C-alpha cells in the first residue's frame, strides 16, 4: 500500500490568508510572506541580473538596425514552440523584417543545434542564429556555425555542462555566475526576459521613435509565456506565478492568441475559464503532439497566425495528432507493463528502471517513461531504436533523484557509455550505442540506488491531510480554484479521506464514476477517478474506500455542483 504523508505547516504560521485552511496550505508550501501573492507585473524580477543579457541585447540590436537575417532555432516541444513564436512575434514588433525559424525534426536530427542542423540552417543564409529552449550543450553546433560565418546567440534554461559553446552571447539563468534570483524560468521565460531588455534598450537609443514604430506592450505576449511555462513543468516560484497568472488573465479577458483560443475550442473548453490545469492537461498536449508525431512547425504556426480560419484548421490538425499520440502511448504502456509482468520482477525491479523496445515511437517515449514512473515509483528511462547502431532514451524521475546529475555521474564513471545527454532534475534525454544498453541499465540502477530507500520505492503520496467537514463545500472549492496558480513546486491542494461507496459505474470505458457519502455529515457527492483497473472496478461488494482527492466544481447545463477528482484509491473494503 502506498504511504500517505500529510504536508505539515510550520509552527507559528504568519497570517498569509484570512481563511484558516488556505493559510495552512500556503504555509505548508513554504510561503512565509503574504506579499508573495501579489502577482502584479511590477513585482517581476529585473532582467538586469541575467548573465549575458547586455551582450545578447547588443547582438540583436545590430541585427535589427542592419536588418540582418535572424534565424530562430527552437526545440520540438511546447516550450520550444512557444519560445520560437515569442521570439518571432517580438522581434517583428520591434521592426525586424527578415526573420525565419527552424525546428529540427526530432526523428532526423535529434535535439539541439547540431552541426547537421547548422548545415540545414546555412542554406537559409542567416547572419545570426538565435537558439531558444536549447543550445547550452551545442558546442559542436556553435563551432560549425562560427566556421561558416554565422553568429550564434543562445537562450536556454537547461543545465549546462562543464564547457560552454563559443557563442556571441549566452542567456541562461542556470549558467555558472548568473545572479538572476529565479533559476526556474522555462525557455519561453528566458526569451521573454531577453525581449524585455531589448525593448528597453531600443527605446533608450531612440529606435522606435526614429522608425515611427509604436513601442510594443510586452504584456501582449504573456499568454504564450504562461502556456510554455506550464507546459514545461518548471517550478512555479513567485516569479513564474506572476507570469502564469497574468498570461491566463489575458486569455480569460479574450486577449489571447487566436491559436490558443482555437485549441481551447477544439478541446471543448471555455477559454473564459482558463486555468493552469487546462494548460497542462488540455492545451499543451495538443501543441506537443505536433513535435511528438510530426513537425512542431505546425504548433509554431498555430501560435503565429492572425487568421481565425487558419487557427481553427491547425487546431483541428493538432487535436487529431493528439488523439493518435494518446493511442500510441497507451499501446506502448500496455506492452511495457506486459513485459514487466512476464519477468515476474514486480517486487524486485531495480530502483532505476530502463525499458527498451525497438518498435516504440520516439515521440512518446517521455509519456511512457512518465506513466511507468508514476506506477512504479522510481526513475524510468524508456528507449527506442533510432538506427541499427543507436538508441534514444527519455527519462522521468521522482523526488530526491536529480536525473540529469545521475546521467552526468554515470558518464563520468563510465567514459563512452553515453553518447550524449541533457535535461533537468525531473526529465532528461540521452542517446546510447545499442550495444551499451545492458551496461547502461546496470549502471543506472546502481547510481539511482544511492538516492532511494525501500520506503521511497513503495510510493509516497503527499496530501494536505483530511479535510474538515465544515470545509467540504462549494465555497471552499471555489476558494481553492482561485488561490493558485497551482503547479510544479506549488502543488494544488489534495486531501485524504474515507468515504462510503453509494454508487459505482464506468464511464468513457476506463474511468470510474463514484457516488460517495461523507462518513460524518452523510453528504453525498459525485467523484471521478480516471484510468482505473477494470479488473477491480466497479465492484458492488466494496462499501468503503480511502481516497486521495481534490475539490472540484462540475458544470453541466448551467448548473454547478461539488465533485471530487480522485487521484488515488488507497484502499477499499
**Domain membership of residue 534 as a residue range:** 3-7+461-572
- Residue 316 pLDDT > 60: yes
User: Is residue 422 helix, strand or coil?
Assistant: strand
Whether residues 178 and 61 share a domain: the answer is yes
Share of the chain above pLDDT 90, in %: 67
Q: How far is CA 219 from the centre of its chain?
A: 22
CATH of the domain at 516: 2.40.50.460
- Residue 156 pLDDT > 70: yes
Whether residues 296 and 355 share a domain: the answer is no
The answer as to whether 21 is a domain residue is no
In this predicted model, what pLDDT tens digit does every residue of 4-30 receive, in sequence order? 889 888 877 778 888 999 999 999 998
Whether residues 451 and 480 share a domain: the answer is no
Share of the chain above pLDDT 70, in %: 97
Q: Are 230 and 276 in contact (CB under 8 A)?
A: yes
At residue 327, the pLDDT reads 82
Whether residues 85 and 201 share a domain: the answer is yes
Residue 340 has what DSSP assignment?
Answer: H
pLDDT band at 347 (very low <50, low <70, confident <90, very high): low
- Residue 455 pLDDT > 80: no
Query: At which of 458, 485, 503 does a domain end?
Result: 458
Greatest C-alpha distance within the chain? 78
CATH of the domain at 400: 3.10.310.30
In this predicted model, what pLDDT tens digit does every residue of 279-310 receive, in sequence order? 988 999 898 888 777 778 899 999 999 999 99
In this predicted model, what pLDDT tens digit does every residue of 93-146 receive, in sequence order? 999 999 999 988 765 666 778 999 999 999 999 999 999 999 998 999 999 999
User: Is residue 270 helix, strand or coil?
Assistant: coil
* Arithmetic mean of pLDDT, 59-72: 98
- Residue 56 pLDDT > 90: yes
Whether residues 341 and 444 share a domain: the answer is yes
The answer as to whether 407 is a domain residue is yes
This model's pTM is above 0.95? no
Q: What is the mean pLDDT of the chain?
A: 91
pLDDT band at 331 (very low <50, low <70, confident <90, very high): confident
At residue 386, the pLDDT reads 86
* Arithmetic mean of pLDDT, 328-338: 77
Q: Are 364 and 332 in contact (CB under 8 A)?
A: yes
Query: 159 or 184, which is more confident?
Result: 184
Q: Say how many Å lie between the first and final Cα of the chain, rounded.
A: 14
CA dihedral 399, 401, 404, 406 (to 10 degrees): -170
At residue 75, the pLDDT reads 85
pLDDT band at 342 (very low <50, low <70, confident <90, very high): low
At residue 361, the pLDDT reads 84
The answer as to whether 85 is a domain residue is yes
Whether residues 449 and 556 share a domain: the answer is no
In this predicted model, what pLDDT tens digit does every residue of 232-291 receive, in sequence order? 889 999 999 999 999 999 999 999 999 999 999 999 999 999 999 899 889 998 988 887
Whether residues 219 and 206 share a domain: the answer is yes
In this predicted model, what pLDDT tens digit does every residue of 388-398 receive, in sequence order? 899 999 999 98
Runs of H (alpha helix) within 123-231? 139-147, 187-204, 207-210, 222-231
pLDDT band at 515 (very low <50, low <70, confident <90, very high): very high
At residue 1, the pLDDT reads 63
pLDDT band at 558 (very low <50, low <70, confident <90, very high): confident
Amino acid at each position: 500500500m502506498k504511504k500517505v504523508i500529510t504536508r505539515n505547516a510550520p509552527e507559528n504560521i504568519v497570517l498569509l490568508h484570512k481563511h484558516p485552511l488556505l493559510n495552512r496550505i500556503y504555509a505548508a508550501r513554504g510561503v512565509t510572506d503574504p506579499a508573495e501573492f501579489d502577482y502584479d507585473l511590477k513585482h517581476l524580477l529585473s532582467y538586469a541580473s541575467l548573465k549575458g543579457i547586455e551582450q545578447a541585447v547588443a547582438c540583436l540590436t545590430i541585427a535589427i538596425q542592419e536588418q540582418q537575417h535572424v534565424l530562430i532555432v527552437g526545440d520540438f516541444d511546447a516550450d520550444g514552440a512557444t519560445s520560437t513564436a515569442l521570439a518571432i512575434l517580438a522581434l517583428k514588433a520591434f521592426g525586424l523584417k527578415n526573420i525565419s525559424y527552424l525546428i529540427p525534426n526530432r526523428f532526423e536530427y535529434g535535439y539541439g543545434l547540431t552541426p547537421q542542423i547548422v548545415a540545414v540552417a546555412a542554406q537559409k543564409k542567416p547572419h545570426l542564429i538565435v537558439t531558444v529552449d536549447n543550445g547550452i550543450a551545442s558546442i559542436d553546433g556553435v563551432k560549425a556555425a562560427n566556421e561558416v560565418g554565422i553568429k550564434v546567440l543562445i537562450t536556454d534554461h537547461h543545465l549546462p555542462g562543464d564547457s560552454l559553446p563559443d557563442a556571441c552571447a549566452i542567456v541562461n539563468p542556470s549558467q555558472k555566475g548568473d545572479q538572476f534570483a529565479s533559476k526556474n524560468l522555462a525557455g519561453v521565460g528566458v526569451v521573454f526576459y531577453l525581449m524585455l531588455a531589448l525593448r528597453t534598450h531600443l527605446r533608450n537609443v531612440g529606435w522606435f521613435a526614429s522608425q515611427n514604430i509604436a513601442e510594443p506592450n510586452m504584456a501582449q505576449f504573456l499568454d504564450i509565456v504562461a502556456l510554455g511555462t506550464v507546459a514545461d513543468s518548471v517550478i512555479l516560484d513567485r516569479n513564474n506565478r506572476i507570469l502564469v497568472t497574468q498570461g491566463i488573465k489575458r486569455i480569460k479577458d479574450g486577449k489571447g492568441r487566436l491559436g490558443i483560443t482555437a485549441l481551447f475550442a477544439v478541446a471543448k473548453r471555455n477559454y473564459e475559464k482558463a486555468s493552469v490545469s487546462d494548460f497542462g492537461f488540455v492545451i499543451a498536449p495538443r501543441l506537443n503532439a505536433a513535435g511528438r508525431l510530426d513537425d512542431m512547425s505546425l504548433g509554431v504556426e498555430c501560435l503565429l497566425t492572425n487568421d481565425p480560419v487558419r487557427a481553427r484548421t491547425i487546431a483541428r490538425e493538432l487535436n487529431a495528432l493528439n488523439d493518435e499520440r494518446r493511442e500510441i502511448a497507451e499501446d506502448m504502456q500496455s506492452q511495457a507493463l506486459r513485459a514487466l509482468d512476464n519477468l515476474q520482477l514486480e517486487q524486485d525491479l531495480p530502483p532505476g528502471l530502463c525499458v527498451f523496445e525497438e518498435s516504440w515511437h520516439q515521440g512518446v517515449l517521455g509519456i511512457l517513461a512518465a506513466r511507468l514512473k508514476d506506477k512504479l515509483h522510481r526513475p524510468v528511462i524508456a528507449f527506442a531504436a533510432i538506427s541499427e547502431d543507436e538508441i534514444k532514451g527519455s527519462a522521468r524521475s521522482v523526488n530526491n533523484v536529480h536525473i540529469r546529475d545521475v546521467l552526468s555521474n554515470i558518464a563520468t564513471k563510465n567514459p563512452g557509455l553515453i553518447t550524449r545527454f541533457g535535461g533537468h532534475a525531473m526529465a532528461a534525454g540521452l542517446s546510447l550505442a545499442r550495444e551499451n544498453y545492458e551496461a547502461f541499465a546496470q549502471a543506472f540502477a546502481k547510481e539511482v540506488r544511492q538516492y532511494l530507500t525501500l520506503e521511497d520505492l513503495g510510493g509516497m503520496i503527499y496530501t494536505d491531510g483530511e479535510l474538515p467537514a465544515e470545509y467540504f463545500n462549494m465555497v471552499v472549492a471555489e476558494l481553492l480554484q482561485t488561490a493558485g496558480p497551482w503547479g510544479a513546486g506549488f502543488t494544488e491542494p489534495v486531501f485524504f479521506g474515507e468515504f462510503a461507496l453509494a454508487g459505482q459505474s464506468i464511464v468513457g470505458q476506463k474511468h470510474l464514476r463514484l457516488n460517495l457519502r461523507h462518513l460524518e455529515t452523510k453528504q453525498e457527492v459525485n467523484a471521478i477517478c480516471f484510468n482505473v483497473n477494470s479488473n477491480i472496478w466497479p465492484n458492488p461488494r466494496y462499501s468503503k474506500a480511502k481516497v486521495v482527492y481534490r475539490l472540484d466544481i462540475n458544470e453541466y447545463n448551467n448548473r454547478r455542483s461539488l465533485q471530487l477528482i480522485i487521484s488515488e484509491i488507497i484502499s477499499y473494503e
